[in-house]
Structure 1
Amino acid sequence: MRYPIVIETGSDDTAFGVAVPDLPGCFSAGATLDEAVEAAAEAASAWMDAALDAGMPIPAPSSLDAIQQRPEYAGWTVGIIDLDEVLSDDTIERVNITLPRRVLRRLDDLARAKGQSRGAFISQLTLSAR
Protein backbone atom coordinates (compact mmCIF):
# COMPACT_ATOMS: atom_id res chain seq x y z
CA MET A 1 0.00 0.00 0.00
CA ARG A 2 1.33 3.39 -0.91
CA TYR A 3 0.37 6.24 1.41
CA PRO A 4 1.22 9.84 0.67
CA ILE A 5 3.28 11.74 3.21
CA VAL A 6 4.08 15.42 3.57
CA ILE A 7 7.50 16.53 4.68
CA GLU A 8 8.42 19.77 6.38
CA THR A 9 12.05 20.51 5.66
CA GLY A 10 14.42 20.48 8.60
CA SER A 11 17.54 22.49 9.20
CA ASP A 12 20.70 22.31 11.29
CA ASP A 13 18.55 23.23 14.30
CA THR A 14 15.28 21.40 13.59
CA ALA A 15 14.30 17.91 12.52
CA PHE A 16 12.45 17.00 9.35
CA GLY A 17 8.76 16.65 10.18
CA VAL A 18 6.59 14.11 8.38
CA ALA A 19 2.82 13.66 8.51
CA VAL A 20 0.61 10.97 6.99
CA PRO A 21 -2.49 13.02 6.08
CA ASP A 22 -4.78 10.02 5.53
CA LEU A 23 -4.09 8.70 9.05
CA PRO A 24 -5.27 11.41 11.49
CA GLY A 25 -2.65 12.24 14.10
CA CYS A 26 0.03 10.12 12.44
CA PHE A 27 3.31 12.00 12.25
CA SER A 28 7.02 11.57 12.90
CA ALA A 29 10.33 13.32 12.61
CA GLY A 30 13.96 12.57 11.97
CA ALA A 31 17.32 14.28 12.00
CA THR A 32 17.75 13.44 8.31
CA LEU A 33 15.23 13.09 5.53
CA ASP A 34 15.87 9.34 5.31
CA GLU A 35 15.34 8.92 9.07
CA ALA A 36 12.15 10.98 8.95
CA VAL A 37 10.64 8.94 6.10
CA GLU A 38 11.59 5.67 7.80
CA ALA A 39 10.05 6.90 11.05
CA ALA A 40 6.88 7.85 9.16
CA ALA A 41 6.52 4.28 7.87
CA GLU A 42 6.96 2.95 11.42
CA ALA A 43 4.42 5.47 12.76
CA ALA A 44 1.90 4.53 10.05
CA SER A 45 2.32 0.82 10.85
CA ALA A 46 1.73 1.48 14.54
CA TRP A 47 -1.26 3.72 13.74
CA MET A 48 -2.88 0.98 11.65
CA ASP A 49 -2.27 -1.65 14.30
CA ALA A 50 -3.83 0.53 16.99
CA ALA A 51 -6.80 1.39 14.77
CA LEU A 52 -7.52 -2.27 14.05
CA ASP A 53 -7.21 -3.11 17.75
CA ALA A 54 -9.80 -0.39 18.46
CA GLY A 55 -12.13 -1.69 15.72
CA MET A 56 -11.60 1.37 13.52
CA PRO A 57 -11.38 1.14 9.73
CA ILE A 58 -8.15 1.92 7.89
CA PRO A 59 -8.66 4.87 5.53
CA ALA A 60 -7.78 4.36 1.89
CA PRO A 61 -4.78 6.34 0.66
CA SER A 62 -5.40 9.59 -1.18
CA SER A 63 -3.75 10.46 -4.45
CA LEU A 64 -0.57 12.50 -4.38
CA ASP A 65 -2.36 15.21 -6.37
CA ALA A 66 -5.14 15.46 -3.78
CA ILE A 67 -2.64 15.84 -0.93
CA GLN A 68 -0.53 18.37 -2.82
CA GLN A 69 -3.61 20.56 -3.37
CA ARG A 70 -4.48 20.78 0.33
CA PRO A 71 -3.76 24.34 1.52
CA GLU A 72 -2.49 23.25 4.95
CA TYR A 73 0.47 21.56 3.24
CA ALA A 74 1.49 24.48 1.01
CA GLY A 75 5.28 24.58 0.88
CA TRP A 76 5.67 21.00 2.14
CA THR A 77 7.25 18.29 0.03
CA VAL A 78 4.96 15.41 -0.93
CA GLY A 79 6.25 11.84 -1.00
CA ILE A 80 5.09 8.30 -0.37
CA ILE A 81 5.70 5.45 2.01
CA ASP A 82 5.16 1.87 0.94
CA LEU A 83 3.51 -0.26 3.64
CA ASP A 84 2.98 -4.01 3.70
CA GLU A 85 -0.68 -4.77 2.91
CA VAL A 86 -0.77 -7.30 5.75
CA LEU A 87 -0.73 -4.35 8.19
CA SER A 88 -4.36 -3.58 7.40
CA ASP A 89 -5.56 -7.16 6.97
CA ASP A 90 -7.64 -8.44 9.87
CA THR A 91 -8.74 -11.57 8.00
CA ILE A 92 -9.02 -14.66 10.18
CA GLU A 93 -6.61 -17.36 9.08
CA ARG A 94 -6.41 -20.95 10.29
CA VAL A 95 -2.89 -22.01 11.27
CA ASN A 96 -1.37 -25.27 12.37
CA ILE A 97 1.29 -25.06 15.08
CA THR A 98 3.29 -27.75 16.80
CA LEU A 99 3.80 -27.56 20.56
CA PRO A 100 4.84 -30.04 23.22
CA ARG A 101 1.78 -31.48 25.00
CA ARG A 102 2.81 -29.97 28.33
CA VAL A 103 2.96 -26.50 26.74
CA LEU A 104 -0.38 -27.01 25.00
CA ARG A 105 -1.97 -28.14 28.28
CA ARG A 106 -0.60 -25.05 30.05
CA LEU A 107 -1.85 -22.83 27.21
CA ASP A 108 -5.32 -24.33 27.39
CA ASP A 109 -5.42 -23.99 31.19
CA LEU A 110 -4.46 -20.31 30.97
CA ALA A 111 -7.03 -19.67 28.22
CA ARG A 112 -9.75 -21.44 30.20
CA ALA A 113 -8.92 -19.40 33.31
CA LYS A 114 -9.45 -16.23 31.25
CA GLY A 115 -12.68 -17.57 29.75
CA GLN A 116 -11.17 -17.54 26.26
CA SER A 117 -10.58 -19.95 23.44
CA ARG A 118 -7.03 -21.02 22.66
CA GLY A 119 -6.94 -18.78 19.56
CA ALA A 120 -8.36 -15.76 21.37
CA PHE A 121 -5.86 -16.21 24.19
CA ILE A 122 -2.90 -16.44 21.78
CA SER A 123 -4.17 -13.33 19.97
CA GLN A 124 -4.48 -11.41 23.24
CA LEU A 125 -0.96 -12.42 24.30
CA THR A 126 0.49 -11.39 20.96
CA LEU A 127 -1.29 -8.03 20.78
CA SER A 128 -0.43 -7.12 24.35
CA ALA A 129 3.29 -7.91 23.93
CA ARG A 130 4.51 -4.51 22.80
Structure 2
Amino acid sequence: MTGFAVIVERGSDGGYGAWSPDLPGCVAAADSYDECVALMREAIPLHLESLRRHGDPVPEPSTVGVLTIDAA
Protein backbone atom coordinates (compact mmCIF):
# COMPACT_ATOMS: atom_id res chain seq x y z
CA MET A 1 0.00 0.00 0.00
CA THR A 2 1.29 3.45 -0.81
CA GLY A 3 0.04 6.79 0.36
CA PHE A 4 -1.05 7.98 3.77
CA ALA A 5 -3.81 6.20 5.64
CA VAL A 6 -6.69 8.44 6.70
CA ILE A 7 -9.11 7.57 9.48
CA VAL A 8 -12.60 9.05 9.12
CA GLU A 9 -14.83 9.03 12.18
CA ARG A 10 -18.43 10.10 12.69
CA GLY A 11 -18.92 12.56 15.52
CA SER A 12 -21.71 12.57 18.04
CA ASP A 13 -23.08 15.68 16.31
CA GLY A 14 -23.46 13.77 13.02
CA GLY A 15 -20.47 15.43 11.38
CA TYR A 16 -17.23 13.75 10.34
CA GLY A 17 -13.62 14.14 11.38
CA ALA A 18 -10.52 12.76 9.69
CA TRP A 19 -6.88 12.36 10.63
CA SER A 20 -3.78 10.56 9.45
CA PRO A 21 -1.70 8.44 11.86
CA ASP A 22 1.50 9.34 9.99
CA LEU A 23 0.82 13.08 9.91
CA PRO A 24 0.12 14.43 13.40
CA GLY A 25 -1.83 17.67 13.19
CA CYS A 26 -3.19 17.01 9.72
CA VAL A 27 -6.94 16.89 10.27
CA ALA A 28 -10.24 17.80 8.64
CA ALA A 29 -13.83 18.12 9.79
CA ALA A 30 -17.03 18.51 7.78
CA ASP A 31 -20.76 17.89 7.82
CA SER A 32 -20.57 15.04 5.29
CA TYR A 33 -18.25 12.09 4.73
CA ASP A 34 -17.49 13.12 1.15
CA GLU A 35 -16.65 16.69 2.14
CA CYS A 36 -14.42 15.46 4.95
CA VAL A 37 -12.50 13.16 2.60
CA ALA A 38 -12.16 15.97 0.03
CA LEU A 39 -10.76 18.27 2.70
CA MET A 40 -8.19 15.63 3.72
CA ARG A 41 -7.18 15.23 0.06
CA GLU A 42 -6.40 18.96 0.11
CA ALA A 43 -4.90 18.98 3.60
CA ILE A 44 -2.27 16.27 3.12
CA PRO A 45 -0.30 17.96 0.30
CA LEU A 46 -0.50 21.29 2.16
CA HIS A 47 0.72 19.64 5.35
CA LEU A 48 3.66 18.03 3.53
CA GLU A 49 4.51 21.34 1.86
CA SER A 50 4.53 23.03 5.27
CA LEU A 51 6.84 20.38 6.72
CA ARG A 52 9.28 20.87 3.83
CA ARG A 53 9.11 24.65 4.05
CA HIS A 54 9.95 24.56 7.75
CA GLY A 55 12.75 22.03 7.30
CA ASP A 56 10.93 19.32 9.22
CA PRO A 57 11.22 15.67 8.20
CA VAL A 58 8.55 14.35 5.86
CA PRO A 59 7.47 10.91 7.06
CA GLU A 60 7.10 7.95 4.77
CA PRO A 61 3.68 6.31 4.84
CA SER A 62 3.80 3.42 7.30
CA THR A 63 0.44 1.79 6.67
CA VAL A 64 0.63 -1.62 5.04
CA GLY A 65 -3.08 -2.42 5.08
CA VAL A 66 -6.47 -1.19 6.25
CA LEU A 67 -9.09 -3.40 7.85
CA THR A 68 -12.62 -2.82 9.01
CA ILE A 69 -13.77 -5.53 11.36
CA ASP A 70 -17.42 -5.79 12.35
CA ALA A 71 -18.05 -6.34 16.03
CA ALA A 72 -20.06 -9.46 16.73
Q: TM-score range by the shorter chain?
A: 0.7 to 0.9
Match of 1:26 in 2: 26
Question: Structure 1 unaligned runs (5+)?
Answer: 69-130
Q: Does 1:61 align with 2:43?
A: no
- TM-score of the superposed pair, with normalisation by structure 2: 0.76
Deviations 1:1-51 (A, max 9, x none): 52101111146x342000011011110011111110110111111111110
Which structure is larger by alpha-carbon Rg, 1 or 2? Answer: 1
Larger relative contact order (C-alpha < 8 A, sep ≥ 6)? 2
**Runs (4+) off by over 6 Å:** none
Query: How far, CA to CA, are the matches of 2:49 and 2:57 in structure 1?
Result: 11
Q: Give the superposed CA RMSD.
A: 2.0
Question: Structure 2 unaligned runs (5+)?
Answer: 68-72
Match of 2:70 in 1: none
Aligned length: 66
Query: How far, CA to CA, are the matches of 1:14 and 1:43 in structure 2?
Result: 21
